[in-house]
Every structure is written in C-alpha cells, then in structure tokens.
C-alpha cells in the first residue's frame, strides 16, 4: 500500500522529520536502517533519523532470559521514548514485542517476513553431521526455552547450555569449542550476511518457531495519525495476518519469553493454517494442534487454537511453569 500524493503532502506539511527508536545491537541497526531506507524511498520529501538506546535485555548478559522473567526486556526503553515524544516510532524484531502493549501504543505495521525457521549452526568438527546424527552428549547452545523444550523432546541425549550475547559473540564461543552447535534464527543470520553459517534449517517437525519470528514490528503512538499513515506504506498484509494469528494465540495463553510456546503459519488463497504447541521445559510433554480458517479471522484462529490446546492439557503445563517462575 502506498499513500496518494495528496495524503503525502498533508503528512509532509506538518512533520518533515520522523525520529526512529532502535536498540544498539548490530542486528537491530541492520533492521532499523532497512526500515529507514524503505520509508525514504516511499517518501523522498520526508526525513527519517535513527536514535539508538540500550534496553534491559541488552545490559543483562550473564543471566538466562527466562530467569529475568520480563516480557518487555527489549522494548521498554524504546516505548518510554515514544510515550515521552522523544521518538515517533520504534522498530522491533516482532518476536521481542509483547502481545500486550502499553496504553497509548499500537503495532502500526508488520513488514514482510524473512524465513522464520530455526537454524543449526555447527562446530567445524561436526560439519558432516545433521542434528539427528550428532553424538550423545553433544553440547547445544540456546537461550530460548522454546527451542530448548522442543529439542529436549526430540533429542533427550544432548547436553544443553545457555548462550547469550550478540550473534558474533555466540559464534565466537561456538568456534572456540565451548559448544558443539548453536540453534539460531535463520532470519537473523541472513540479515547479517551470515547465511554461510547455516548448516541445517530445522523443519517444523523438530522446531516450531517463535511468535513473530522473521518479521519486523513497528510500534508507534496510537493517536499519531501521520505516523500511522506513513508506516502503512511498508506493511506486508499476508505477514500481518500470520502475525495477528500467532500473537493472539500467545496472548490467549498469556505466555512470555519464559514459556515454551511455538508456532507455524501458512497462508494459501486467503486461508490461514496455524499450528501451535506448548511444551514443558524438561521436554517430556508437548501438546500440539492445528486450526485452519479465513485469514480475515486471524485473531479468532489464534484464540481458537489456544483454547484447543488448553483442553488437551496445555494449561497444566503453563500453571507449573508460572508457579516455578514465581517461586524462583
């Protein structure tokens, strides 16, 4: 969708420069500058400036994300900046954006999704192996409970070890021999020009991806009509439909980064198929199901699937996880 010239002149007359909030990480900046470039091409008469800041999730690198237990680890500082009118909108990896946003902020646009799958990144000594042929006791690095639970379910003979830091730091630890393999997002590796490190793309049978993984979510103030109009120019409607279903599923289950919840969506001829799972952290229980319906009913499908999994015992798993989190 692009704005008409009359719409653009209205926007340009009142706001010549838009301030974009971004995290300082290499991947965040690559993503934010891509959004900046797309908007600049759509609106050559407007200016878009990037302002960077560190979030809580960027500062706490020696503690597993699940133990911090905060759903807004990578977004709060950016959101405060918008609410204080220091920035006009923020670019997020959609998977980092909580499903419940602060009052006064909205998800304004979702960009076209890159490959949302998880990737196996291997140490050189295992370059002739796939994930199902790695030896017993192989040390697998991941900071995601979603990945951890699914891999424990399929490969209980592996050893799992938390890994934090930016992508280069994680890869350096792998290459130094601290890990035999890492599980990382395909999209992040591709955006940073590291596709050559992807040894194997994990199929959905092994690892369902995180809600929103591979897409960018752009957040802004709910009452900022000008910004909302501008951002619609780079919205990818099929991706947004998939994201709405996934986020409704997660929101209905009230899960954050500390809950092993995975999804997989497909869109064919305006029909949306959503698969979701809830797993126990130890990987011993995994509840999974699929629903299909009209893409126009995306959020309803997400809610429907969440209720379906609840009926099959997902709520018991979630209750156990919440109780464990509150005790720790």
H-type alpha helices, 3-133:
5-14, 26-42, 56-59, 65-68, 76-83
| Known catalytic membership, residue 196 | no
Alpha carbon distance 72, 223 (integer Å): 22
Question: Which bin fits 283, alpha (ψ -120 to 50), beta or left (φ > 0)?
Answer: left
Alpha carbon distance 262, 280 (integer Å): 12
Instruction: Say if CB 142 and CB 123 are below 8 A apart.
Output: no
26: tokens are: 């290499």
86: tokens are: 């220091």
Question: Of residues 88, 96, 180, 241, which has the active-site annotation?
Answer: 96
Alpha carbon distance 64, 185 (integer Å): 17
Q: Just list the catalytic residues.
A: 96
């Amino acid at each position: 969708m692009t704005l008409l010239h009359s719409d653009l002149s209205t926007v340009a007359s009142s706001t010549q420069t838009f301030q974009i909030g971004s995290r300082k990480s290499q991947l965040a900046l690559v993503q934010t500058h891509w959004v900046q470039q797309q908007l600049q091409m759509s609106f050559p008469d407007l200016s878009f400036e990037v302002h960077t800041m560190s979030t809580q999730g960027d500062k706490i690198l020696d503690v597993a994300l699940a133990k911090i237990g905060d759903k807004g680890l990578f977004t709060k500082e950016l959101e405060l900046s918008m609410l204080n009118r220091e920035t006009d909108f923020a670019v997020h990896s959609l998977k980092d954006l909580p499903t419940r946003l602060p009052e006064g902020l909205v998800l304004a646009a979702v960009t076209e999704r890159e490959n949302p799958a998880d990737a196996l990144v291997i140490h050189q000594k295992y370059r002739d192996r796939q994930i199902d042929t790695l030896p017993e006791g192989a040390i697998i690095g991941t900071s995601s409970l979603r990945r951890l639970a699914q891999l424990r379910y399929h490969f209980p003979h592996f050893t799992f070890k938390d890994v934090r830091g930016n992508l280069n730091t994680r890869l350096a630890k792998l290459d130094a021999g601290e890990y035999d393999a890492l599980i990382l997002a395909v999209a992040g590796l591709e955006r940073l020009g590291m596709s050559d490190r992807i040894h194997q793309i994990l199929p959905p049978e092994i690892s369902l991806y995180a809600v929103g993984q591979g897409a960018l979510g752009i957040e802004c103030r709910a009452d900022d009509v000008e910004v909302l109009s501008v951002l619609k120019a780079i919205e990818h409607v099929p991706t947004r439909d998939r994201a709405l279903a996934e986020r409704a599923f997660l929101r209905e289950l009230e899960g954050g980064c500390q809950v092993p919840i995975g999804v997989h969506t497909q869109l064919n001829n305006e029909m949306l198929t959503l698969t979701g799972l809830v797993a126990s952290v130890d990987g011993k229980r995994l509840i999974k199901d699929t629903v299909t319906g009209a893409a126009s009913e995306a959020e309803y499908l997400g809610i429907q699937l969440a209720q379906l999994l609840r009926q099959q015992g997902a709520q018991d798993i979630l209750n156990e996880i919440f109780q464990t989190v509150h005790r720790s």
